[in-house]
A = this chain, B = another copy of it.
Amino acid sequence: MDGTKGASVDDARNTTGARPSSHARRQFLRTGAGLAGAAAAGAVLGRSGPAAAVEADPANLPPNVPWWSKYLGDGVEAAPYGLPSEYESHVVRRNVRWLTATTESSVNFTPIQDLHGFVTPNGLCFERHHAGVAEVNPVDFRLMINGLVDTPMVFSMEDILRFPAVSRFHFLECAANSGMEWRGAQLNGVQYTHGMIHCVQYTGVPLRVILDQVGVKPNGTWLMAEGGDASGMNRSIPLEKALDDAILAYAMNGEMLRPANGYPLRLVLPGWEGNMWVKWIRRIEVGDQPWFAREETSKYTDLLANGKARYFTWEMDAKSVITGPCPEKPVLHKGINQIKGLAWSGRGTVKEVHVSTDGGRNWMQARLPDPVLPKCLTCFNAEFEWTGDEVLLQSRVVDDTGYVQPTMNALQQVRGVNSIYHNNAIQTWLVNKTGEVENVRLG
């Protein structure tokens, strides 16, 4: 189940970051006298309160002058483009080898258990490709708009960059996120159950501005967005959404899109399922009906118990998950602990998040640290006291439309069990008596 390839990350860091000589010197210090007196982590004593800390007893202190304060570190020329600390090399995207036949048409997962706040760093945004990462030279890139328009046009990246930009924070969730839970796979890790999601600040041009340039004819009511990868991934999009809040985005978190995320241009459809956010977008055709493309008929539809399929279910319903404690983050301390997590809604803005420590019998309101933005991940946190007994942790979001995140049973009463898409059910973590956390199905 663990498809991590951590080695290449470390290689990259060694190339860009520390110079070999200073790196070798530091390794010596780490394993030598420098740390001889260092206290082990985890020795938490005394003092009640939201979180306990070590009192200032010299026996608990690291050496008075830690090794790192004795030497000059790298100067400002060392890393023109910086990378994470070598101590964070476990924080990587991971994939599940058995999920698909090849990794070019597979998915990897955002390590949400190790992240903080609601921004996902660009290097850790999950990927889902249909023919691998298209590597496009932006000089050669063109976007064509044709079909039911007054003036078919072709835009270069230079053209796109000349329009006034907007910059908005939005989550992107794969419709299959948590899909492996639908029939009880119960993967043991929140990275695998809920990691097909990321959230960045997108910058680009509102699609309505570009459509205004070409002039949509009165009978133009649907768009077909087509990707420039080898699969030519395409989806039908109602004109109404395009004119509402769709963005042709070229930047994420300040810099140009990463290749895996559609460089140099992708479609952003705030709140809608990720498959429609066409990457490496090369063409938009305007028509008067949907195309019923492969990815909206045989895929991304939900086969119901009666043999009919739900389709065009674009909006991602409200969902939340606890990212700590979780299977990767056991409970280490008796007493007060933090519950932290993420909530979102494709319908609008998160209004409340409730957490339960008894499997949904009682709920308490979690804090939502500001800012809380529409169609954006929202952080929540709350305290719970662990006495060493079994605990069933759950979270439940309510959005500003009044929609309440359902239980799995409630969802399956409507949808049956055939689908793997659009699972937004409440997730349950069992904290066992050793503090380890397991993924369980509760109801």
Q: For the complex, what is the distance from the CA of A79 to the CA of B91, rounded to whole Å?
A: 12
Q: Which residue of B lies closest to A127 (CB)?
A: B76
The answer to whether B144 touches A56, judged by C-beta atoms less than 8 angstroms apart, is yes
A69 is contacted by which of B3, B70, B82, B229 (Cβ under 8 Å)?
B229
A20 within 8 Å of B (CB atoms): no
A120 within 8 Å of B (CB atoms): yes
The answer to whether B230 touches A70, judged by C-beta atoms less than 8 angstroms apart, is yes
In the assembled complex, which residues on chain B have CB atoms less than 8 Å from the CB atom of A40?
A: 139
Q: For the complex, what is the distance from the CA of A295 to the CA of B286, rounded to whole Å?
A: 62
Q: For the complex, what is the distance from the CA of A332 to the CA of B159, rounded to whole Å?
A: 11
A263 within 8 Å of B (CB atoms): yes
The answer to whether A81 touches B16, judged by C-beta atoms less than 8 angstroms apart, is no
Q: State which residues 51-106 of A face B: CB under 8 Å.
A: 51-57, 60-62, 66, 68-88, 91-95, 102-106
The answer to whether A209 touches B15, judged by C-beta atoms less than 8 angstroms apart, is no
Q: For the complex, what is the distance from the CA of A110 to the CA of B328, rounded to whole Å?
A: 35
Interface residues on A, range: 35 or more
A221 within 8 Å of B (CB atoms): no
Q: For the complex, what is the distance from the CA of A200 to the CA of B200, rounded to whole Å?
A: 11
A131 is contacted by which of B57, B73, B153, B371 (Cβ under 8 Å)?
B73
Q: For the complex, what is the distance from the CA of A40 to the CA of B156, rounded to whole Å?
A: 10
The answer to whether A157 touches B41, judged by C-beta atoms less than 8 angstroms apart, is yes
A151 within 8 Å of B (CB atoms): yes
In the assembled complex, which residues on chain B have CB atoms less than 8 Å from the CB atom of A168?
A: 369-371
In the assembled complex, which residues on chain B have CB atoms less than 8 Å from the CB atom of A263?
A: 85, 87
Q: For the complex, what is the distance from the CA of A437 to the CA of B5, rounded to whole Å?
A: 46
In the assembled complex, which residues on chain B have CB atoms less than 8 Å from the CB atom of A6?
A: 80
The answer to whether B367 touches A164, judged by C-beta atoms less than 8 angstroms apart, is yes
A9, A60, A137, A157: which has the most chain B beta carbons within 10 Å? A137
A158-B41 contact in complex given A15-B15, A124-B81, A230-B72, C-beta closer than 8 Å: yes
Q: State which residues 126-140 of A face B: CB under 8 Å.
A: 127-129, 131-140
Q: For the complex, what is the distance from the CA of A267 to the CA of B236, rounded to whole Å?
A: 48
A362 within 8 Å of B (CB atoms): no
A50 to nearest B CB, angstroms? Answer: 6
A371-B373 contact in complex given A106-B76, A255-B116, C-beta closer than 8 Å: yes
The answer to whether A60 touches B8, judged by C-beta atoms less than 8 angstroms apart, is no
The answer to whether B167 touches A135, judged by C-beta atoms less than 8 angstroms apart, is no
The answer to whether B47 touches A213, judged by C-beta atoms less than 8 angstroms apart, is yes
A197 within 8 Å of B (CB atoms): no
The answer to whether B56 touches A77, judged by C-beta atoms less than 8 angstroms apart, is no
In the assembled complex, which residues on chain B have CB atoms less than 8 Å from the CB atom of A142?
A: 39, 61-62
The answer to whether A108 touches B8, judged by C-beta atoms less than 8 angstroms apart, is no
Q: Which residue of B lies closest to A337 (CB)?
A: B162
In the assembled complex, which residues on chain B have CB atoms less than 8 Å from the CB atom of A61?
A: 142, 144, 154
Q: Which residue of B lies closest to A16 (CB)?
A: B12
A220 within 8 Å of B (CB atoms): no
Q: For the complex, what is the distance from the CA of A213 to the CA of B158, rounded to whole Å?
A: 55
In the assembled complex, which residues on chain B have CB atoms less than 8 Å from the CB atom of A24?
A: none
The answer to whether B230 touches A80, judged by C-beta atoms less than 8 angstroms apart, is no
A215 to nearest B CB, angstroms? Answer: 11
A8-B18 contact in complex given A55-B153, A167-B118, C-beta closer than 8 Å: no
Q: For the complex, what is the distance from the CA of A80 to the CA of B80, rounded to whole Å?
A: 21
Q: List 12 A-B contacts (CB under 8 A).
A: A4-B80, A8-B15, A44-B158, A44-B159, A68-B136, A82-B125, A82-B127, A119-B201, A162-B337, A165-B340, A166-B369, A371-B373
